Structure 1
Amino acid sequence: MSIKLQGMTWSHPRGYDPMVAVSATWKERTGVEIAWDKRSLQDFESYPVEDLAARYDFIVIDHPHVGQITHEKCLLPLDVPGREAERAALRAGSVGKSYDSYTWQGRQWAFPIDAAAQVQAYRPDRLGRAVRRWDDVMALARQGRVAIPLRPPHSLMSFYTLAAHIGEPCHDAGPLLIGPATGVAVLERLRTLAALVDPRNFEQDPIAVLEDMAAADAGIDCVPLTYGYVPYARDGFRAHRVGFGDIPVDGDLPPRGSALGGTGIAVSARTQHPQAALDFAYFIASGAVQEGIFARSGGQPGHDLAWRDAGINADTHDFYRDTRATLEAAWVRPRHDGYMPFQHAASELINDALLDRASASACVSELNRLFAASQESGL
C-alpha cells in the first residue's frame, strides 16, 4: 500500500518550489508521495498551527510558535531515539541560531530548512553596494529613496532589530518586554524613518516591498530592514535584480541583533504515518539536500553547506556571503505560549505610534503590559 502525505507551506517560490522538488526526489527513492498546499505569508505568520496539524502531516512553521504547539501537543518531537548523530550534524550545520530556535523545553519541534533574518535590500545598479551606516539610510530616506515593510508583524520585527542592535534587546521573559527609556528611543527612531517613506509601506510585507523595488519603474534604492528573499537576488527573476547585505549599523557596531526569521519543518502529532514523516523531515533538512536540490529549486537553505557553497553564492550574487554576519548575530524572538497573540497586538500598537495615533511612551507602556499578560494568561 502506497503512502501519501500532505504538507502545508507558504505561498512564495522560495517557500513552495523547493518543497515540491525535494518531495519528487523523495518519491523516486521511497515511493512515498507528498502533496503540498500553500498559504499566504500573512497566514503563515499568524494561522493557528493546531488547526493545520489536524489536516496535514507536515507544517512549515516559524520558531515563535513552539511554546504554543508544545502546550497544544499538536506536533511530534523530532528528537527520536537512534538518530542522535543526524541531529548533531543538523545542529552543527545550522546557520546562526536557526536550529536552536526550534528547541523548546528540552525537545526539538522542527528542523530548520530555511534561514532568514532582517537584512538590507538595495538596488546594486544605483547604489553599487549595501549602505553601511544608519545615518546614510536616513539621508537616502530624506530623498524619498527608502522603503520599509510595516505591515504587522514587520513593524514589530524592526522594533526588535533596532533595540537588539544597540545592545538592549527585548526580553524573552517578563515582566518587561523592554525598558521604557530604550523602548521610547527605539520607537522614535523608527517613527522618524516611517514619516519619510510611502504610507503604502504600512500595508506591505517584505514580498510586496521587494516586488516594488524590483519593478521596471521602481524608485526605491534601499530597504534597510527586511527579510531576505533569495529569488530576487538572481538574474532574471524580476525586471531588476535586488542586492542584499548586512543591516546598516550605528557607528562601528557589528551587524548584530536582527530579528531571526526563517522556517522549520514540523510533523503533525496526528499523522497516520509518523515514521515516514519523520524520515522525510530528516531528509529535507540534511546538508546534502539543502546544498543540492533544495537550493537549486529556489529555496533559501538553512544549512551551512549551502551558505558556503561557491556555486550557490555565484548564482545569487553572494546573497549568502553578504548577509552571513547578520544571520550569525541574529536575535531569537520570545517563544512562550501566548506570544503569538502578543506579536499581532504589539505590531498594531507600534503602528498606531508610528502614525501618530499614540505617544511613544504610551505605546511602550502598553507593550510591556501586554507582554506580561501574554506570559500569565496567553492573552
Structure 2
Amino acid sequence: MTWSDPRGYDPLVAASAAFRDRHPHVRIDWDKRSLQRFESTPVDELAATYDLMIIDHPHVGEVVAQNCLLPIDRHGDPALLEQLASETVGKSFHSYFYGGHQWALPVDAACQVQAIRPDLCDAPLTDLSAVIAEARAGRVLLPLRPPHVLMCFFTLMANLGTPFPVSRDGALDPANGRRTMEALQALSDAVDPACHGMDPIAALDALADGSRAAMIPFTYLYAPYAQAGYRPNRLSYHDIPAAGLSGPLGSALGGTGLAVSARTAHPELCTEFALWVASAGMQSGLYTANNGQPGNALAWADATVNARTGNAYHQTRMSHEAAWLRPRHAGYMGFQEEASHILLDALTGKATHDSALSALHARFLESFPA
C-alpha cells in the first residue's frame, strides 16, 4: 500500500517490476490511497492486509505499541543498515528508529520548502516579512488543510528558535508561540480562503496551473513539479524563508518510509526489497527516473537527478538537513488531528491566540499514555 500521487506510486511499481528480474517467482502489486487517507490511516490497519507499505514517521510510536511491523534490523544486514544511515538526508533515517529498532527505511525525503513560479517570481524570498507583503498582494498560496496548518506552525516555531516540545517534559515558549500565531494569522488572513481546504498537492497544482499566485512559502517538497512537462508551468524549489535570525532551519520533517508487516509470510524477501529500494544505486537511477523523490543523500547530490528537477535537491538541501523531527510517541497522531483544528479555530476567530496555545500544550500533554 502506498499513496496515490505519481511520486508515491510510480517508482514503487517500477522497482517491483525490476525486482521480479532478480526473483522471477515474486510479484509485488501496489494499491494506493489518497494523501489524506495516507496521513491518517492507522498502520496496524494496513499491516493486517499488506506485506509492504509506505508509512509516515510520526506513526512509529503506535507501531511499537501495536507490534504490527517487522523491525527491518531483524533480517536486514547490519552493514547495509549502517551504510544507509550514513547516506540519509538529515534526520530521515533516524525518524524511523524508535524503541531500539528500525521500523522503516527512508525511500523518500521531504520537509517544508518554498515553491515559486520562476516566470512570475524573480527569486525566492528569504524573509517572512517579504512573504507576508507578497501575500497581501494576492501572490501567495499556503496549504492550511489539516494537518498542514499544524506543520506550518511547527516550522515557524522551530525557525524562531524555540521548537514545539517533543516530550511531556518540554515547555511551549509563550512569547515565541504568540509570535508564531501572529505570523501564521497574517499569512492566513492574506491568502485566498480556499487555502484552508488545500493540502500541498492542491496548492502546488494551483500554483503550477494558475496565472496570479507566484509562490508557496511553506509546502512539502514534491520534486516532480519541477520536471519539464509535469504540469503546464514548471515550479522551482528553494529553502524556506526565515522568520528568525538563523536562516532556513526548523522545517517540519516529512517524507515516507518503506515498512514490512509483522504478519508477512515472506520477511526476508520483503526486507531485501526494502533495502534494495533504499539503496543509493536504485534511488539515483530507476527510482528517480519514475517520478520518485529519493531519501538517499547520494541521490540528492547526483547531477543527473538534480538536472531533471531544476536542482530542486541542491536548492532545498539546507532546509532538509536542518529540519525538525516531530513527536512520534503513541498518541501523537490523535494530537496532530486535534491540534490542527485548534489552530484553525484561532485563525478563523473562534478562539484567541493565547487560548489556542494553552489548548495545544494541554492536549499535547494528554496525548501521552498514562
**Same fold flag (TM > 0.5):** yes
Q: Does 1:300 align with 2:293?
A: yes
Q: 1:374 to 1:280 in 2, by over 3 A?
A: same
Q: Does 1:329 align with 2:309?
A: no
- Return the letter of the residue paired with 2:148: H
Residues of 2 paired with 1:252 and 1:108: CA distance? Answer: 35
Residues of 2 paired with 1:177 and 1:109: CA distance? Answer: 28
Instruction: Show structure 2 runs of 5+ residues with no match.
Output: none
What residue in structure 1 maps to residue 123 of structure 2?
Answer: 129
Q: CA deviation at 1:250?
A: 3.4
Choose from 292, 304, 316 the match for 1:311. 304
Choose from 211, 215, 224 the match for 1:218. 211
Q: CA deviation at 1:129?
A: 2.1
Aligned residue runs from structure 1 range 182-197, under 5 A: 182-197=176-191
Q: CA deviation at 1:321?
A: 0.3
Aligned residue runs from structure 1 range 101-250, under 5 A: 101-176=95-170, 178-215=172-209, 217-250=210-243
Residues of 2 paired with 1:285 and 1:85: CA distance? Answer: 14
Q: TM-score, normalised by structure 2?
A: 0.98
SS in structure 2 opposite 1:291?
A: helix
What residue in structure 2 maps to residue 3 of structure 1?
Answer: none
Residues of 1 paired with 2:238 and 2:75: CA distance? Answer: 40
What residue in structure 1 maps to residue 252 of structure 2?
Answer: 259
What residue in structure 2 maps to residue 21 of structure 1?
Answer: 14
CA contact (8 A) 2:51 2:260 kept: yes
Per-residue CA distance 1:85-143 (angstroms, 9 max, x = gap)? 10011001000000000000111000000000000011111213211211211111110
CA contact (8 A) 1:116 1:327 kept: yes
Choose from 279, 285, 296 the match for 2:278. 285
What residue in structure 2 maps to residue 4 of structure 1?
Answer: none
Q: Does 1:62 align with 2:52?
A: no
Q: TM-score, normalised by structure 1?
A: 0.95
Residues of 2 paired with 1:293 and 1:36: CA distance? Answer: 17
Q: What's the C-alpha RMSD, in Å, of the aligned pairs?
A: 1.1
Choose from 312, 333, 336 the match for 1:343. 336
Q: Does 1:357 align with 2:338?
A: no
SS in structure 1 opposite 2:74?
A: coil
Q: CA deviation at 1:49?
A: 0.6
Q: Does 1:371 align with 2:361?
A: no
Q: 1:358 to 1:34 in 2, by over 3 A?
A: same
Residues of 2 paired with 1:159 and 1:55: CA distance? Answer: 35
- Return the letter of the residue paired with 1:104: Y
Q: CA deviation at 1:293?
A: 0.4
Residues of 1 paired with 2:72 and 2:289: CA distance? Answer: 26
- Return the letter of the residue paired with 2:267: P
- Return the letter of the residue paired with 1:115: A
Q: CA deviation at 1:274?
A: 0.9
Residues of 2 paired with 1:168 and 1:251: CA distance? Answer: 10
SS in structure 1 opposite 2:314?
A: helix
- Runs (4+) of structure 1 exceeding 4 A deviation are none
Residues of 1 paired with 2:258 and 2:311: CA distance? Answer: 26
Q: CA deviation at 1:290?
A: 0.6
SS in structure 2 opposite 1:240?
A: coil
CA contact (8 A) 1:119 1:244 kept: yes
Instruction: Show structure 1 runs of 5+ residues with no match.
Output: 1-7
Q: CA deviation at 1:178?
A: 1.7
Q: CA deviation at 1:75?
A: 0.1
CA contact (8 A) 1:11 1:41 kept: yes
Q: CA deviation at 1:175?
A: 4.5
- Return the letter of the residue paired with 2:87: G
Residues of 2 paired with 1:265 and 1:297: CA distance? Answer: 17
Per-residue CA distance 1:177-224 (angstroms, 9 max, x = gap)? 622332222112101110000111111100000000011x33111110
CA contact (8 A) 1:21 1:293 kept: yes
Q: 1:153 to 1:175 in 2, by over 3 A?
A: same
Choose from 259, 263, 269 the match for 1:276. 269
SS in structure 1 opposite 2:334?
A: helix
CA contact (8 A) 2:113 2:220 kept: yes
CA contact (8 A) 2:76 2:275 kept: no
Aligned residue runs from structure 1 range 42-121, under 5 A: 42-80=36-74, 83-121=77-115
CA contact (8 A) 1:177 1:367 kept: no
- Return the letter of the residue paired with 2:81: R
Q: CA deviation at 1:174?
A: 1.3
Residues of 2 paired with 1:320 and 1:82: CA distance? Answer: 28
Residues of 1 paired with 2:244 and 2:344: CA distance? Answer: 27
The answer to which of 107-116 and 171-180 deviates more is: 171-180
